[in-house]
Amino acid sequence: MAPQRHQQRHQISQRTEARQSRREKQKAKKRVRRALYLSASGIIGGLIIVSLFLPGTISPRQTDPLQNYTSTEIIPEGTVYSGYESSPPTFGPHWPTGADWGIHTEDIPEERQVANLSQGGILIQYSEADENLVSQLADFAENQSDSPCYLIVAPYAGMEYKIAVTAWGTRDTLENFDEDRLQRFVDAFKGSGPEPVACTPN
């Protein structure tokens, strides 16, 4: 009987050691996975933060060539300029004065739009007279902490996009209202124009 009990104890000891070995291996794997997860999260988080401060990273549809961003030519009020490289435009020759900041119910001439962009403003324009959409965009603009400064909401008849948001040298287009995406754009690009002006919030 003694040899049998000894053999049983030996088998139990082996199973215990095997379980402990498996636990140690599992713990080691978890530590490796956690380290990889934290490393990947840090890299992704860093890329997201950096992207907010790099013009041209908000949307793959931003197409204006960087080398022309410094063009701040002022043309006489009322002059029609037909050389903009995108619609709505994001930079180029413009009239001396921009439109009033805030909510507009009529289209703003492109030459005046660009004047606002050069002053560090952002335009949110819509192509459809959708009452609900217009209300959402107006609420978004009016809820900004420095409203109405540096932000315009206006219609843009004939635009191929449902919503276009522009800043100096960059733009994004949306097919539906997306508050978070609009806010990221505003936070990243407000004040980025080459001819900043002062504005006092309401």
Residue by residue, pLDDT tens for the chain (202 residues) are 555 555 545 444 544 454 454 445 444 544 545 555 445 445 554 454 444 444 434 443 343 443 455 668 999 999 999 999 999 999 999 999 999 999 999 999 999 999 999 999 999 999 988 999 999 999 999 999 999 999 999 999 999 999 999 999 999 999 999 999 999 999 999 999 999 999 999 8
Maximum CA extent, the chain: 111
* Number of Cα atoms under 13 Å in the Cβ half of residue 127: 14
For residue 163, what are the β-bridge partners? 126, 174
Tokens of 93: 């020759």
Q: What is the pTM of this model?
A: 0.68
What is the DSSP annotation of 122-171? EEEEESS--HHHHHHHHHHHHTSTTTTTTEEEEE-TT-SSSEEEEETTEE
| Strands of the sheet with 163-167, listed across from one edge | 102-103, 151-155, 122-126, 163-167, 170-174
129, 106 in Cβ contact below 8 A? no
